[in-house]
Structure 1
Amino acid sequence: MPMFSVCMRDCYDTCSMVSELKNGRLRVKGNQEHPITAGFLCPKGALLPKWFHSKDRLRKPLIRTGEKGSGKFKKASWKEAIDLVARKLRDVIERHGSESVLVYQYAGDRGVVNYAFPLRLFHYLNTAMLDYGICDRAGQEALKDVYGTAVGLDPEELKNQRLIVYWGINAFWTNLHGFMLARRKGLEIWTVDVVRTETAKRSDRFFQIRPDTDVLLALGVAKVIIKEELYDRAFVRENVYGFEEFKNYVKTLSLDYVSKETGLSVEEIETFAREYAEKRGVIHIGYGFQRSLAGGEAVRAIAMLPAIVGRRFGFIYDMKTIDKSYAEGVFLRTKPAKRIPQMKLAEYIEKGEVKFLYVYNSNPLASLPNQRRLRRALLESDVFVVTHDIFLTDTALYSDIVLPANTFFERLDIADSYYHRYVALNEPVAKLHGKSNSEVTRLLARALGIKNPYLYENDEEVIRKILELNGLSWEELRRKGFIKVSKRPRKWETPSGKIEFSSQRAVERGLSLFPRYRRFSGKYPLRLLTPTYRMTITSQYHNTYGMIDPHLYISPADAKERAIKEGDEVEVFNDHGKVRTRAKVSEDVPRGVVLLYKAFWVSLLGWNVNFLTADETVQNYGNASAYHSTWVDVKKV
């Protein structure tokens, strides 16, 4: 019997699907009724049955018998494993305090219950929690500086637009349904990026800029629009705080300087400004480019452009569709949480502040920077590591106990999207292996002797409560498979109640009154960019789909300077580490920049780009990551 499913991956699209089991094999297809995901799946989604039926899925709990990372485990019963986790957890809390326990999770699975419910146990125990910074934290903070919120335009409103600018996002790979929606609605498509991506190749216009110069381009575009009086005077007068000061700020900016730094001609910058103002374009602000030391300032500058041309929320960034806080259960805490910056995990382990690490929905030994330091910290400390996952990931290999997880095809859940405004239902289609995050949470609570009823609510009870709190109907969701969240009142939650070009919130955090351009450089000559690959989502699917691209992409000029030819074996290195791979000489990558795709499994490939990235470097915008502010050199082997 066909069931409603929703792809739980950390992806904009959050596709609604129809799934069923036929002759013991899973079949999936896109839900044709869904207005955004429109009945087709991306290449990763089409291969979900291969992932679901993988022979490598964990079936039994594992207890480590050899050294961490050795892969030596013994199989155990669920009772034995859960009892051991509970004993160790109780012992660590008694000896070192609850703040020595850290739950590490992220969006490897975005099901509301599967993502949030386990946090109830750790809130109840008053453990340390993560201060998330790995993804879009810089952009969130920057948009709050300007608008007081990061919630942008409903993509269904694209039908009324003429132009969309993909700024720092390879949407054809990472937001395929959004890209096709823009095409179907007849929008003109522009791309701003450092690399000539697949999106850039399919765009009507491509503006290729140098790394870190996004902020300067945005300020230059603003200067032209203001100077030529192309801005919406009435809108700005009524709704923008600090415009006159901003006008004077950009007046001092030389377009020749903007041209020199960005690599665009003055004519290209002026054309961008005039046509963007005339078409009042929507800007889809990407996540990837903000993961650099210039990221927060760039988003802040870009976010001002829609307001200049009279758009209330003329950007696409994040929907924050529903309030999911009930699932997490912060109300179970009896004291404030100690927050450990996500990017500083190795440092806190080294300092002895983390003695028990519980990992789910994440693979930090693939996704975090400075992997050599993190792995050394785990080996040299007495931290006890528990990982709950579908597969024996790199993180699982460094764990003391590994608990088998199930997939979203095996449990009830719901998921919202950070691109569109729909919540989708996920019904269990079949059961193969493992237990859900909520099941394991209840088992651990019981093993710890906890009586609190909030730790034993079943999945449907949690889902019903969340829907009720958000004014949504469980019955309608069960009937249709998805439901749209009604539009919320749109207001600017800033101190002034307006769009703040001169941001009071930014100044209070020690930032400049207006976005500021800074040049960055490193000890090594080449800037390393580490985007996601089309067939993976961070580290997911590397082990099941087998389709990765391990090449180093390098410009012809940089390759020639190093006597490197297409296919040569090369070593990429800096003070953090080195990796060996083969070169692909490409005009898509500008001089001074090299590219390696991120977060492949070391246990399968032998290396990971995060042996080169730095963890000591974070942004002033919420301790956000700065992966793309990594410098390396390359030599032929």
Structure 2
Amino acid sequence: MIHLGHALTGLTPPVKALFVYNTNPLSVNPDASSVRRGLAREDLFTVVHEQVMTPTARYADLLLPATTFLENRDIYTAYGHFYLGVVDPVIAPVGEARSNFDLFQGLARKMGFTDPPFMQSCNERIADYLENMQGLPEGCSIEKILAGRLVHSANSRRDGRVLEGAGRKFQFAVEAASPAVPGLTSAGEFADPDLLSRFPFRLIIPPHADLLNSTFGERYPGRLGEVLVHPDDAATWGVADGEKVLLRNHRGSSARIARVTADTRPGVLVAEGIFWQAGEEGGGINDLTSQKLADMGGGATFHESLVTFAGKTAGKSGLAL
């Protein structure tokens, strides 16, 4: 997923078909400008299964309506708690909307696949999943979960144990592990003197309180979002509070509204949230981020980007802030 831009623009032979579901890569993927170039290819057939008209959906050759969580049965866990449960729909699917489960089963049957997962009902698939868990709590059965009982999902260990080892404490560093926990190292782009000379600001992209990644972006059409700029940097670069600025680097550009504040440090720009901007000036904030993988864990490096203010030169001052 992190390398989607490269997959769509840099492979030989090229990817010719893309099926997008449960995501909005043109907004959330790093190096989104390369994703945009890939989606714009005339020889790429793109299918998007979606609930709303996202920036990605606008590039679809075939757009299929998807159900929301209110319209289909599913089994859920979460980041914020440790419980698992089956949730029933509260309304029938609207119009021609179909769930992921129904859509993929239908496609599989049309293509001639007869494997059990493609022939089972939703309840049968959920029951299979539950049967493969490490064990259910005493007094709990699959039938009770299907009927709505919530279950603690820490592998559903009967003994209630989650942490093991000495003292049942989490060990941040283990001497036997190789390598040990590393010391603080300089992030890749920040250590490149050539990039620093051209793009002197470090950009970080924390979540916005009104958004969940790019979810709910349809509520703010055309909104650019803000970028926090330290007063010292604003004075040096001639950036006024409330001014529309264009952030730029060697990957792309993105427009934001400057908010001059001491809530950030000199040299650090903070752009909260992933808004669905699709204006004439630049793209989304992830047009500026890199497809580089983190050295530990292999995740994305969303907060390791260098940028500058397009059309501005250090040394200007005197604007009212």
- Structure 2 length as normaliser, TM-score? 0.79
Task: Check if 1:578 corresponds to 2:253.
Answer: yes
Give 1:355's aligned residue: 16
Deviation at 1:604, TM superposition (A): 7.1
In the alignment, structure 1 segments of 5+ residues that lack a partner are 1-341, 508-512
| Per-residue Cα deviation, 1:584-630 (whole angstroms, up to 9, x for no partner) | 11121111111112432234796310111122x22222432111000
Equivalent residue for 1:482, pick from 150, 156, 169? 150
Give 1:35's aligned residue: none
Give 1:610's aligned residue: 286
Between structures 1 and 2, the one with greater helix share: 1
Task: Report the CA distance shift for 1:477/1:548 in structure 2 as closer, same or farther (over 3 A).
Answer: farther
In the alignment, the residues of structure 2 paired with residue 547 and residue 346 of structure 1 have an alpha-carbon distance, to the nearest angstrom, of 24
Give 2:173's aligned residue: 501
Higher relative contact order (CA 8 A, sep 6+): 1
In the alignment, the residues of structure 2 paired with residue 537 and residue 605 of structure 1 have an alpha-carbon distance, to the nearest angstrom, of 25
In the alignment, the residues of structure 1 paired with residue 54 and residue 64 of structure 2 have an alpha-carbon distance, to the nearest angstrom, of 12
Q: State whether residues 568 and 636 of structure 1, in contact with CA within 8 Å, keep that contact through their aligned partners in structure 2.
A: no
Code of the aligned partner of 1:537: L
Q: Secondary structure at the match of 1:408?
A: coil
Q: Secondary structure at the match of 2:40?
A: helix
Equivalent residue for 1:463, pick from 82, 105, 126? 126
Give 2:104's aligned residue: 441
In the alignment, the residues of structure 1 paired with residue 221 and residue 277 of structure 2 have an alpha-carbon distance, to the nearest angstrom, of 14
Code of the aligned partner of 2:185: R
Equivalent residue for 2:182, pick from 515, 522, 536? 515
Q: State whether residues 492 and 499 of structure 1, in contact with CA within 8 Å, keep that contact through their aligned partners in structure 2.
A: no
1:141-152 counterparts in 2 under 5 A?
Answer: none
In the alignment, the residues of structure 1 paired with residue 82 and residue 222 of structure 2 have an alpha-carbon distance, to the nearest angstrom, of 31
1:620-635 counterparts in 2 under 5 A?
Answer: 620-634=295-309
Code of the aligned partner of 1:395: T
Give 2:88's aligned residue: 427
Task: Report the CA distance shift for 1:374/1:390 in structure 2 as closer, same or farther (over 3 A).
Answer: same
Give 1:413's aligned residue: 74
Task: Report the CA distance shift for 1:589/1:440 in structure 2 as closer, same or farther (over 3 A).
Answer: same
Task: Report the CA distance shift for 1:618/1:589 in structure 2 as closer, same or farther (over 3 A).
Answer: same
Task: Report the CA distance shift for 1:503/1:622 in structure 2 as closer, same or farther (over 3 A).
Answer: farther
Give 1:396's aligned residue: 57
Q: Secondary structure at the match of 1:438?
A: helix
Percent identity over paired residues:
27
In the alignment, structure 2 segments of 5+ residues that lack a partner are 313-321
In the alignment, the residues of structure 2 paired with residue 602 and residue 435 of structure 1 have an alpha-carbon distance, to the nearest angstrom, of 28
Task: Report the CA distance shift for 1:426/1:605 in structure 2 as closer, same or farther (over 3 A).
Answer: farther
Deviation at 1:564, TM superposition (A): 1.7
In the alignment, the residues of structure 2 paired with residue 438 and residue 473 of structure 1 have an alpha-carbon distance, to the nearest angstrom, of 24
Code of the aligned partner of 2:285: V
In the alignment, the residues of structure 1 paired with residue 74 and residue 181 of structure 2 have an alpha-carbon distance, to the nearest angstrom, of 43
Q: Secondary structure at the match of 1:346?
A: helix
In the alignment, the residues of structure 1 paired with residue 284 and residue 176 of structure 2 have an alpha-carbon distance, to the nearest angstrom, of 41
Q: State whether residues 535 and 548 of structure 1, in contact with CA within 8 Å, keep that contact through their aligned partners in structure 2.
A: no
1:145-544 counterparts in 2 under 5 A?
Answer: 342-349=1-8, 350-351=10-11, 352=13, 354-380=15-41, 382-431=43-92, 432-433=94-95, 434-470=97-133, 471=136, 472-477=140-145, 482-485=150-153, 486-487=156-157, 488-492=160-164, 499=171, 501-502=173-174, 506-507=178-179, 513-520=180-187, 521=190, 522-523=195-196, 524-544=199-219
Task: Report the CA distance shift for 1:633/1:392 in structure 2 as closer, same or farther (over 3 A).
Answer: same
Task: Report the CA distance shift for 1:570/1:500 in structure 2 as closer, same or farther (over 3 A).
Answer: closer
Task: Report the CA distance shift for 1:548/1:473 in structure 2 as closer, same or farther (over 3 A).
Answer: farther
Q: Secondary structure at the match of 2:106?
A: helix
Q: State whether residues 598 and 608 of structure 1, in contact with CA within 8 Å, keep that contact through their aligned partners in structure 2.
A: no
In the alignment, the residues of structure 2 paired with residue 404 and residue 574 of structure 1 have an alpha-carbon distance, to the nearest angstrom, of 36
| Per-residue Cα deviation, 1:232-284 (whole angstroms, up to 9, x for no partner) | xxxxxxxxxxxxxxxxxxxxxxxxxxxxxxxxxxxxxxxxxxxxxxxxxxxxx
Q: Secondary structure at the match of 1:343?
A: coil
Q: State whether residues 31 and 287 of structure 2, in contact with CA within 8 Å, keep that contact through their aligned partners in structure 1.
A: yes
Q: Secondary structure at the match of 2:239?
A: coil
Task: Report the CA distance shift for 1:549/1:577 in structure 2 as closer, same or farther (over 3 A).
Answer: closer
In the alignment, the residues of structure 1 paired with residue 113 and residue 132 of structure 2 have an alpha-carbon distance, to the nearest angstrom, of 26
In the alignment, the residues of structure 2 paired with residue 407 and residue 627 of structure 1 have an alpha-carbon distance, to the nearest angstrom, of 28
Give 1:334's aligned residue: none
Code of the aligned partner of 1:462: R
In the alignment, the residues of structure 2 paired with residue 355 and residue 454 of structure 1 have an alpha-carbon distance, to the nearest angstrom, of 27
Task: Report the CA distance shift for 1:469/1:621 in structure 2 as closer, same or farther (over 3 A).
Answer: same
Deviation at 1:414, TM superposition (A): 1.7
In the alignment, the residues of structure 2 paired with residue 477 and residue 423 of structure 1 have an alpha-carbon distance, to the nearest angstrom, of 9
- Structure 1 length as normaliser, TM-score? 0.42
Code of the aligned partner of 1:373: S
Deviation at 1:577, TM superposition (A): 1.7
In the alignment, the residues of structure 2 paired with residue 636 and residue 568 of structure 1 have an alpha-carbon distance, to the nearest angstrom, of 13
Give 1:104's aligned residue: none
Task: Report the CA distance shift for 1:506/1:456 in structure 2 as closer, same or farther (over 3 A).
Answer: farther
Code of the aligned partner of 2:212: I
Deviation at 1:390, TM superposition (A): 0.8
Q: State whether residues 559 and 585 of structure 1, in contact with CA within 8 Å, keep that contact through their aligned partners in structure 2.
A: yes
Deviation at 1:424, TM superposition (A): 2.9
Task: Check if 1:557 corresponds to 2:228.
Answer: no
In the alignment, the residues of structure 2 paired with residue 533 and residue 575 of structure 1 have an alpha-carbon distance, to the nearest angstrom, of 25
Task: Report the CA distance shift for 1:357/1:570 in structure 2 as closer, same or farther (over 3 A).
Answer: same
Task: Report the CA distance shift for 1:579/1:426 in structure 2 as closer, same or farther (over 3 A).
Answer: same
Deviation at 1:540, TM superposition (A): 0.9
Task: Report the CA distance shift for 1:618/1:469 in structure 2 as closer, same or farther (over 3 A).
Answer: closer
In the alignment, the residues of structure 2 paired with residue 490 and residue 583 of structure 1 have an alpha-carbon distance, to the nearest angstrom, of 46
Alignment length, in residue pairs?
288
